[in-house]
């Protein structure tokens, strides 16, 4: 870090402490209003507090609180719809919408829907999950038999579970054409499931999932991808961290794979309100 950057950092940290200092001085002023002194010494509390000191102290406390609120708000950035980031040969757009409502679909597009390492769970029936919401809208009739059909699809593609139950983390499965809605539908095991710990994920698993998605689609003429915020659902990642991680992984792996020209990340409206988008300033 250069001397100039260090000076800026010190100045920024000093500014952050200003409201605390003002509140502290206000407390001192307020407290001193109840202190009196005469020939017998100091008296606290005094029977006749100094009104100007009280007013001044309360004023400082209020000003300090207001400055603290202003500085806090400046650190918090609301996520905006249609936020666009560009890196390498990829244009990434963050949309505040549900992934199943994506439009302008064609054969060059693909929906990326998170699964877990069993590829069999109740997510397909849970409309709060990306997979469930998508199937509820487009493949309602296929939901009852989907888990069984999924096993057969995996087997037909010679994707087998490691120990009879769990598949390799970050496994990518491109579903057959009967599941396409012009755009392809792709599942990725972006969370691990175990009997004792339930669903969980981590940065390396998310990164490998993105890399494998791009790798599996490199020769499929797919250049547009629709992602939900992977890792923020049952896997339990905090929504801001999950979005930040997803963007970082897409940015990193788009250096290797040049076919992702357009990437859309869909953030549900209810989730967008929980996101502090100030991290986007670093992209």
Alpha-carbon distance 19 to 259, whole Å? 50
CA triple 107-112-116, angle to 5 deg: 145
Same domain, 70 and 87: no
Q: Is the peptide bond before 30 cis (omega within 30 degrees of 0)?
A: no
Please give the C-alpha separations between residue 94 and each of 21, 173, 246, in angstroms, as whole numbers.
40, 24, 11
Same domain, 253 and 123: yes
pLDDT at 200: 86
Residue where one domain finishes, among candidates 28, 48, 75: 75
pLDDT at 98: 95
Same domain, 160 and 204: yes
Same domain, 221 and 276: yes
Alpha-carbon distance 107 to 81, whole Å? 25
Residue where one domain finishes, among candidates 21, 48, 75: 75
Task: Please tell me the pTM assigned to this model.
Answer: 0.75
pLDDT at 239: 93
**68: containing domain:** 3-75
Q: What are phi and psi of 273, to 5 degrees?
A: -70, -15
pLDDT at 263: 97
Please give the C-alpha separations between residue 128 and each of 146, 181, 209, in angstroms, as whole numbers.
18, 20, 21
Same domain, 49 and 154: no
Residue 196 token pair: 């004792």
**Ranges of the chain whose pLDDT falls below 50:** 1
Same domain, 48 and 173: no
Same domain, 215 and 195: yes
Q: Which CATH number belongs to the domain containing residue 220 in this structure?
A: 3.40.220.10
Same domain, 160 and 232: yes
The answer to whether the beta carbons of residues 89 and 263 sit under 8 Å apart is no
Same domain, 14 and 147: no
pLDDT at 9: 66
Same domain, 100 and 231: yes
Q: Which of 151, 247, 266 is nearest to 207 (CA)?
A: 247
Alpha-carbon distance 82 to 93, whole Å? 6
Number of domains present in the structure of the chain: 2
Summarised one tens digit per residue, pLDDT across range 88-139 is: 899 999 999 999 999 989 999 999 999 989 887 667 888 888 999 999 999 9
């Amino acid at each position: 870090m250069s001397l100039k950057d260090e000076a800026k950092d010190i100045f920024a940290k000093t500014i952050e402490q200003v409201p605390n200092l003002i509140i502290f001085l206000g407390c001192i002023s307020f407290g001193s209003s109840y202190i009196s002194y005469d020939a017998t010494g100091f008296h606290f509390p005094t029977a006749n507090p100094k009104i100007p000191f009280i007013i001044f102290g309360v004023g400082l406390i209020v000003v300090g609180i207001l400055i603290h609120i202003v500085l806090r708000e400046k650190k918090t950035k609301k996520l905006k719809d249609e936020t666009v980031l560009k890196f390498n040969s990829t244009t990434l757009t963050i949309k505040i919408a549900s992934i199943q409502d994506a439009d302008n679909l064609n054969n060059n597009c693909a929906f990326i829907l998170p699964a877990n390492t069993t590829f069999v769970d109740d997510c397909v029936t849970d409309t709060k999950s990306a997979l469930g919401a998508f199937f509820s809208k487009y493949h309602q009739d296929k939901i009852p038999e989907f888990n069984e059909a999924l096993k057969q699809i995996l087997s037909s593609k010679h994707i087998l579970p490691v120990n009879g139950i769990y598949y390799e983390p970050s496994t990518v499965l491109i579903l057959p054409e009967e599941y396409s809605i012009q755009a392809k539908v792709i599942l990725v095991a972006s969370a691990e499931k175990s009997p004792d710990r339930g669903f969980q994920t981590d940065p390396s698993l998310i990164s490998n999932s993105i890399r494998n998605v791009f790798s599996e689609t490199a020769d499929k003429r797919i250049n547009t991808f629709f992602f939900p915020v992977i890792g923020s659902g049952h896997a339990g990642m905090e929504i801001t961290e999950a979005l930040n991680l997803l963007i970082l992984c897409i940015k990193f792996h788009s250096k290797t794979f040049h076919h992702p020209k357009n990437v859309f990340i869909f953030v549900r409206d209810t989730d967008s309100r929980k996101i502090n988008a100030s991290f986007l300033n670093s992209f």
